[in-house]
Structure 1
Amino acid sequence: MLNTNKPLDKYNFCPNCKEDLISELVDGDNRKRCENCGLIFWNNPKPVVSIVLEKDGKILMLQRSKEPFKDYWVLPGGFIKYEETAQQAIKRETKEEAGIEVEISGIIGTYRIDDDLRGIHIDIIFYGKPKGEIKLNEEDRSWKYFSPDSLPENIAYKHRNAIEDYKKTSLKS
C-alpha cells in the first residue's frame, strides 16, 4: 500500500511566523515556503529503527494493538529521538515494547517505509539476539517467535523484506 497522503497539503501557515505558506518548486521539488520569513518546509523522511531478533532459529514479532496497522505483525522498533543514536533508539524501543534487552550484532539495511499514513520513514533495521523475558506494553497485544519460512501474512512496513534479506545473507548472528 503506497502512502497517498500528501503531507504538504495539510500545512497552510508558517510554523515560524504564522504567515501564509505558498507552494513553489525548490530544487526541482514542490515545497511550501513562507514569503515573509523565507522558511522552506522540506518534509524530509523521519528516521525509525527496527530489529530482527533471532532465538533458536526463530524471529520475534509483535502484534500491534493500535493504529497504524492494528493487528499487524511487526519487528520491535520505533522512532529515533532527537538526542539518540540509532543503536540507542533500538535498545530503548525494544525495552519499551517487549521489556527485553538486545545484543546488536549488525545492520541488515535501510528501508523506505511508504505505507504509513503518518508520512515517509527511513527504517534502519538491525539484527541481534534478545536477552530476558518478554513483557509487552500497551502498543502490542501479542508476541511470537516465527520460523523465517512461515511468517504471518499481515506484516506491516517493510519488515517482511528485511527478514527475507536477513535469511538470504550470512548475517545470521
Structure 2
Amino acid sequence: MSGPLRHAFRYCPQCRQPLAVGDEGGVGRPSCSACGFVQYLNPSPAAAAVIRRGNLVCLVQRKFAPKAGEWTLPAGFIEYDEAPDEAARRETREETGLDVRIDGLLAVHQGVLPPDRPVILIVYAATELGGELLAGDDAAAVGFWPPDAPPGPIAFSSHRRVLAALAAADREAGR
C-alpha cells in the first residue's frame, strides 16, 4: 500500500482477519469483511503558538527530521489527554523556554508531515509572560524575526500560510 494507506493495519485489531480496502462512504478505507471493523485514517492534531515581539515572530529551527535545519512556529502534536491550547503552551515552553498565555484562536490549517502524514494545525495567538529564550531539546535555534523575512526555509506549508497572513496584516496596519 502507498500514500496514507501505508499507515493502515494489515489485520483487524478486533478479530485478526486480513483487512482489505473497501468503499466506506465513497472513500477507500481498510475494513474487515468478517466483523465490520473500519479503520479511519484521520489526521493527527497539532498546535502552534504565534508569539510576537513588536513586528517580530518567534521561530524555532528544527533539530531533527523531518525538515531538520528548517524553521517553524513553536508547535507539536497534541497529547492524548491534552487540550489544544495546553499543547501550544507546552510545546512553546519545551522548544523556546518561554512561558506564554494563550490569547485566542488564530487559524486552523491542514498540512502534511513528510512523507505523507496528514496533520490539522491549530494555531493560537500567544503573549509572552516570562521564561528565558533558549532552544529546547528538539530545537537547534530559536529567535524572533519578521514574518516575511525568516532566517531560513519554513518547514511546513501550514506554517508558511500563517507567516504570510501575519506579514499581510502587518503591511495592512502599516508596520
Residue 18 of structure 1 deviates from its aligned partner by 2.5
TM-score by length of 2: 0.86
One-letter amino acid of the counterpart of residue 90, structure 1: A
Residue 165 of structure 1 deviates from its aligned partner by 1.5
One-letter amino acid of the counterpart of residue 3, structure 2: K
RMSD between aligned residues? 1.9
Counterpart position of 1:59:
57
SS of structure 2 residue aligned to 1:111? strand
Counterpart position of 2:153:
154
Q: Distance in 1 between matches of 2:148 and 2:40?
A: 40
SS of structure 2 residue aligned to 1:168? helix
SS of structure 1 residue aligned to 2:141? strand
1:108-162 deviations in Å (ceiling 9; x for gaps): 2111112532510000111122232123222111112111231244101121210
Equivalent residues in 2 for 1:83-162, closer than 5 Å:
83-117=81-115, 119-130=117-128, 131-157=130-156, 158-162=158-162
1:8 equivalent to 2:9? Answer: no
Q: Distance in 1 between matches of 2:64 and 2:141?
A: 12
Q: By percentage of residues, which structure has more helix?
A: 2
One-letter amino acid of the counterpart of residue 4, structure 2: P
One-letter amino acid of the counterpart of residue 113, structure 1: G
Q: Distance in 2 between matches of 1:122 and 1:34?
A: 27
Counterpart position of 1:166:
166
Report the number of matched residues: 167
Residue 27 of structure 1 deviates from its aligned partner by 0.3
Q: Which residue, 10, 21, 24 being the options, matches 1:26?
A: 24
Q: Distance in 1 between matches of 2:148 and 2:167?
A: 9
* Sequence identity (%): 28
One-letter amino acid of the counterpart of residue 7, structure 1: P
Residue 17 of structure 1 deviates from its aligned partner by 3.0
Q: Distance in 2 between matches of 1:19 and 1:134?
A: 52
Q: Which ranges of 4 or more aligned residues in structure 1 deviate by more than 6 Å?
A: none
1:26-77 deviations in Å (ceiling 9; x for gaps): 0000000012332101101111111111013211101011011111101001
Instruction: Say if 1:64 and 1:141, in contact at 8 Å, map to a contact too.
Output: yes
Residue 96 of structure 1 deviates from its aligned partner by 1.6
Q: Distance in 2 between matches of 1:136 and 1:153?
A: 16
User: Against the structure 1 CA distance between its residues 84 and 115, is the aligned structure 2 distance closer, same or farther, given a 3 Å change threshold?
Assistant: closer
Gaps of 5+ in 2: none
Counterpart position of 1:81:
79
Which segment drifts farther, 61-70 or 145-154? 145-154
TM-score by length of 1: 0.87
User: Against the structure 1 CA distance between its residues 67 and 114, is the aligned structure 2 distance closer, same or farther, given a 3 Å change threshold?
Assistant: same
